Structure 1
Amino acid sequence: MQSGFAKSLLSLSILMLFSCGGGSSSGSSTPTPTPTPPTETDIVVTGAISGFGSIYVNGIRFDVSSASIDVDGFNASDDALKLGMMVTVRATQGDDSSVANAEQVIYDDDVQGPIASINEADDGRQKLLTILNVTVVADAISTVFDGISYDTLAIDDLVEVSGFYDNNTIVATRIEKKTNTATSGIEVELKGVVENLDEELFTLAGISVDYTNADLSGVVGEVVSNGVAVEVKGLYDGDKIVATEVEVESLEFENMESFSVEGIISNYASDQSFSLQGILVNAAQAQRQPNNLVLTDGLRIEASGELVDGVLIANEVESYQSDIEVAATISNIDSDSVTLDFITGEITVMTDKRTRFKDDRDSDAVLTLSQLQNGDYVQIKARRNNNTLYASELRLDELDDNVIQAPVESFTAPDNVTVLGITFTTASASFEDRNDQEISQQVFFDNLQAGQVIQVKDEQPADGNADEVELED
């Protein structure tokens, strides 16, 4: 599916204008300087769709009006592109343009199947799902849900998942509920490495696959081999998958001057050797945002640079790890920010091209900053750059508790704590440790230090008094 695309060069016909000198006896003319034509660069970007108009991926706006769009192996219109989908975009961008012209957009889900188990984290903000032996992390704020919600996820739901790979786990950026149309078995899709191959069966993620009648045209020589990464589509009977199609999964890209990938660091050996979405990255000489960024396994980043022989030589690395969470009603909206009201103060959060907006009250709605109003209740995941907060995700929802999760700035035991400039009284609060076990007020403050991350909840009707305070990792 990843066909190469031809490089295109901007051709300009330039008319050379000459004017006669008015005061020179020689009658010589001076040519007008030739303007330098804008150049275009071929780019490849892999990341989650964060907005529309046409689409935003990794902070870049792509015009997809002339692009070929491939969704799960089928030609599609731009209406098929949805928030949170992990896509690969091939495009050209002029050095004088803020919009890149997409030539090809490819989306391929990471797994589709029935939910076999659900385990919720004690903090209630994440769930671990098992789908065809694949572990999927669903986040109450950062995962986009379609046809289903975080609260309504249930065993046996048939879902399609797109997300970041974190070793053997998928951190979901999008989960969509599907309807099974098969008369026999469940329609599934699974990726993995072929193991235990014989003439009829192989295993993928520990699940048996019967490939005897499968379409193998997507496999080199139509011969399946052990150790090859493939995607299988077929019907699942609860025991094995009867494959209708087996296709090789390829991460091969041609050398590119401009390549960008968003993902979660895995297989970290050093700054010059780690993986993002299966792509090897060397970031030893890269500029970092923030400047004190320390690369390590499990960190969500975007790396940009030149792709050379399959290795991304990054010249810039930016972290999108969103460790700060705020939830409250909006008191003010500007062209690029929202301000939240916390009774004893306000918190302003900037938005940018990478901010993902979602209306949890209507999964089909496309939300933008301009549609928000004062009094709306929003939940925001944010990252801090210097002293400014930038929203990674902003969700519009029904009124709920005021919440801040952030490092403690100061505290006065046992009276109050201050986070993000907001002071909460704690006289009547309940307290929990990092394992979500209830502890006394004295034990909490005895173990509290400035800089520790805590979550403070002020239940509705909010009054500035903390109802729950919890230590976080």
Structure 2
Amino acid sequence: MTRSHAAKRWLTGLSITVGTITMIGCGSGGEDGGGRTAGIEGTGIVSGFGSVYVDGIEFETQGAEILFNGEASPESRLRVGDVVTVTGVVQDDGTARARRIVFNRTLEGPIEQITMENGIGTLTALGQTVNFDADTAFVNTPVEDLAAGDLIAISGFVGTDGAVDASSIEQGPVFQPNTTRLDAEGTARSVTPSSFMVEGLTVNYGSAIVDESAGTLEDGAFVEVFGVRDADNGAPLVADTVNVLGQNRAEDGDRMFVEAQIRDFAGLDDFTAAGWRIDASDAERLDDTGIDPGLNVRVSVRGTERDGVVRADTLAVEPNPNVTFEATVTAVDSTESTLTILGSTFDVPADTRYPVSGERLDEQVDRTLRLASLEAGDPVRVWAYSDDDSLTTRRIERVEAQNDAIALGAIDRVDSDGSSVTLEVAGTTIRTADGDPTVYYDSNGAEIDATTFKTLAVRGARIEARGPENAGEINTARRVQVLN
């Protein structure tokens, strides 16, 4: 089954938005490089390279200042999944050019505890709760390999409840107590002349350098702290630097883009995302997910800054992926922005992320993967959002070729014929056989017989199937596991 392609929202949305930027902003930024320009600023997640793609917008970086944790750095320090703030211009031909890209790590510290199921879960580090899910990029270590004591660096957003929603997690070197410099950000509470709290972390700052140029260190201030601590969980951080972070503020009339989870949701005319106040009451809705904007829902908005508020022209909900496929590419259509694998055709929007598997800072890797560089026969892993009408990619990763294809997602259709079962997941057909070669497992990983599997394999149940790829199907599956 090939699904319809109602979800071309981002490629279309980008061209509409860039056009709007140009029309509204013509002349507002003056002449730059021979074309009329409009200022553009915003916060988003790095989705790819070649140049730097942030929230689906391609920014040329030649001559741009790139700051990585406050230090001037090359573009190669950035990773897919990093949250960055970009200041630049959009020219009248629709191209964007970054003047400044700033990355500030949200948290760096040792894992105190971690729980997960199917790659989704929470961990605590430096007293802060960190949520990770299928949309989190794990830069150099699979999530299953992370354990208490591991030093990790996290990029993401701190919510009003103090929890961090991780967009990328990177494993660091071995944690050295009282030596490894750690980093955390959040809201300061119980401020005294020598200490304060950031969630469950006590910060002793009596001998620290305190930068209050953007605000005063007081209860409710959003701060970033650097320092060291000993090995005991719950030990205070002895800070050497405390930076009070001001609210995001663009020039009045600048074009804005914001990609983040919604906070402080009072309605479409008043909510916060990535620290920006947003009014999306008149925004054109670009997605067709059927998900209402609300607290903790990830959105992407584009608009204009007026009197400290982003007046959104467009809004789209960005749901977490609920389908994962690994197989070889059957077809690529760069004009229609579609990718076909395992008999299913995916819409590939402009903000699709292209992480590099196993990427490390000291590796020279090709980071220019985009839809146009894929060809039939390339092995890929695709994370996507599936609804009744369409499949929309969230991430595409090039992988090593495997003997078996993989399909993970909710069952759309199930048919039993004697000892065999035919399943459909996100448009892909999965054929099984009782005994040989298919082996069935329950959600605990225990082997079960075909009869028991048939009682569990109902429409809506999530499964993972592995087996040879034949004619756009998994036929015949070697392994099928019910996940819930």
TM-score, reference length from structure 1: 0.80
- Letter of the aligned partner of 2:413 in structure 1? S
1:17 maps to none
Alignment of 1:68-467 (within 5 A): 68-97=65-94, 99-121=95-117, 124-139=118-133, 142-166=135-159, 167-179=161-173, 184-218=178-212, 224-237=217-230, 238=232, 239-254=235-250, 255-291=252-288, 292-321=290-319, 322-335=321-334, 336-341=337-342, 346-360=343-357, 363=360, 364=363, 365=365, 366-369=367-370, 372=374, 374-383=376-385, 387-398=389-400, 399=402, 401-413=404-416, 415-426=421-432, 428=434, 430=440, 432=442, 452=460, 454-459=462-467, 463-465=475-477, 467=479
Contact 1:417 1:423 in 2 (8 A): yes
Per-residue displacement from partner, 1:139-177 (whole Å, max 9, x unpaired)?
Answer: 4x6433334332322222212100244543323222223
Contact 1:165 1:263 in 2 (8 A): no
Cα distance in 2, alignment partners of residues 162 and 309 from structure 1? 29
Cα distance in 2, alignment partners of residues 261 and 439 from structure 1? 47
- Letter of the aligned partner of 2:462 in structure 1? I
Residue 31 of structure 2 aligns to a residue in which SS? coil
Of 394-403 and 126-135, more deviation after overlay is shown by: 394-403
- Letter of the aligned partner of 1:420 in structure 2? A
Alignment of 1:26-41 (within 5 A): 39-41=36-38
Cα distance in 1, alignment partners of residues 303 and 445 from structure 2? 42
- Letter of the aligned partner of 2:465 in structure 1? K
CA positional deviation for 1:248: 0.6
Contact 1:424 1:466 in 2 (8 A): no
1:9 maps to 30
Per-residue displacement from partner, 1:103-162 (whole Å, max 9, x unpaired)?
Answer: 1111101101011112121xx2224221112222344x6433334332322222212100
Residue 264 of structure 1 aligns to a residue in which SS? strand
Contact 2:255 2:302 in 1 (8 A): yes
Identity, % of aligned positions: 24
- Name the structure, 1 or 2, with higher relative contact order (CA <8 Å, separation 6+): 2
CA positional deviation for 1:295: 1.7
Residue 304 of structure 1 aligns to a residue in which SS? strand
CA positional deviation for 1:228: 1.4
Residue 294 of structure 1 aligns to a residue in which SS? coil
- Letter of the aligned partner of 1:393 in structure 2? R
Cα distance in 2, alignment partners of residues 396 and 460 from structure 1? 19
Contact 2:48 2:355 in 1 (8 A): no
CA positional deviation for 1:308: 2.7
TM-score, reference length from structure 2: 0.78
Rg: which structure is higher? 1
CA positional deviation for 1:43: 0.9
Q: Which runs of 5+ in 2 are unaligned?
A: 1-26
- Letter of the aligned partner of 1:228 in structure 2? A
What is the root-mean-square deviation in Å for CA atoms of aligned residues? Answer: 3.3
Aligned length: 432
Contact 1:216 1:247 in 2 (8 A): yes
